[in-house]
Structure 1
């Protein structure tokens, strides 16, 4: 089934969603069908979000590709993911940071966290640590991080995530409720630089530093 990813990756490179060849290679290595519910496996290689339970989704392939590309992930980096979901995005990130890198991913739904961890372990992603908790607070014990990304849209950029980002690091997060924008934050010499990558559509980011009315 993973062969079905090739034409999608080729299209995403042609359309400019993927500029880094390593992102394309990572997408081709991760079996997306292993991360979706059994009854949706036939749709695993359609470039669209899919329901995974608890009102959450696995992001569309182009969005995972775009986020990985924007973050400029490199081997050996320590990355924090907020919103594990099914674990697919973490697996792609794990391919990019390599065995010497580390992906720390936080999921607020215990069942999703357990399911994702089981899948990631079965597929050999030993460089991923799954934490069940409030991702809007980051994960202080393993901070600081070279890269941080959030797979849900919040009302603002959570302050703990900025604090846990290394100087020279990058943070990518969707911000907004009805109209969301993908925002890249770079921390340089203690200063914050923002860049807007346009409108996106994500599930809401719920937590102490996120939305509280969902």
Structure 2
């Protein structure tokens, strides 16, 4: 599959939609305008790739709505070289956005099928995460901590303590919290046991799966 002028034009229209919805971060908008989202989806969904909608991918998961990806990315306030942990690699689209923003990305995926597919696919497109692992997102990646920011791309019924613990002081955790509908929640680490919490509207995500083994 190719990336054509038509696709680029569709991406620019998508960026215009995101600006109207309130996304302001120029770097985030540039990443959305550059990344060929249609390549992260089944070819049957090509017409839908640049609509502001979530779509099904393998393993009963979804590729997040572009607005959600942009909103979460903007909340992270990424600077080039920031060490970011992503919980839920999924299709790799959000991973690609983080890579383009200059982050050093460490990402965990719970679904074996998706992990295998995405870990091969991302480097082919030129997006190189520092580390992609198959594992339990609730546990984070303690061996690589601390992280400047952590992004969770699935709905969590509660905030996992290991993720808060793996943030550096001043670091940001962006996580959708709730069962059926999630509240986008931002935690900023102010001290060893002190966190500032912001609730930023309702979203819908597929659930964050815990390793039951």
TM-score, normalised to structure 2's length? 0.92
What are the within-5 Å matches in structure 2 for residues 65-76 of structure 1?
65-76=70-81
Aligned equivalent of 1:24 = 29
Contact 1:94/1:128 (CA < 8 Å) preserved in 2?
no
Which of residues 152, 157, 160 is equivalent to 1:158? Answer: 160
Matches of 1:126 and 1:53 in 2, distance apart?
21
Three-state SS of the structure 2 residue aligned to 1:42 is helix
Q: Which runs of 4+ in 1 moved over 4 A?
A: none
SS in 2 for 1:184: strand
Deviation at 1:178, TM superposition (A): 2.1
Alignment of 1:80-95 (within 5 A): 80-95=85-100
CA RMSD in angstroms, aligned pairs only: 1.3
Q: Which segments of 5 or more consecutive residues in structure 1 lack a partner in the other structure?
A: none
Is the CA contact 1:120–1:128 (under 8 Å) kept in the aligned structure 2?
no
Give the distance between the partners of 1:52 and 1:148, measured in 2 at CA: 23
- Structure 1 counterpart of 2:135: 133
Q: In 2, Cα distance between the equivalents of 1:120 and 1:179?
A: 30
Q: Distance in 1 between matches of 2:17 and 2:111?
A: 34
TM-score, length-normalised on structure 1?
A: 0.92
Of residues 119-128 and 80-89 in structure 1, the stretch that sits farther from structure 2 once superposed is: 119-128
Q: Distance in 1 between matches of 2:150 and 2:8?
A: 27
1:102-129: CA deviations, max 9, x gaps? 1011001111011111221101112342
Stretches of structure 2 lacking an aligned partner (at least 5 in a row): 1-6
How many residues get paired?
205
- 1:57 equivalent to 2:62? Answer yes
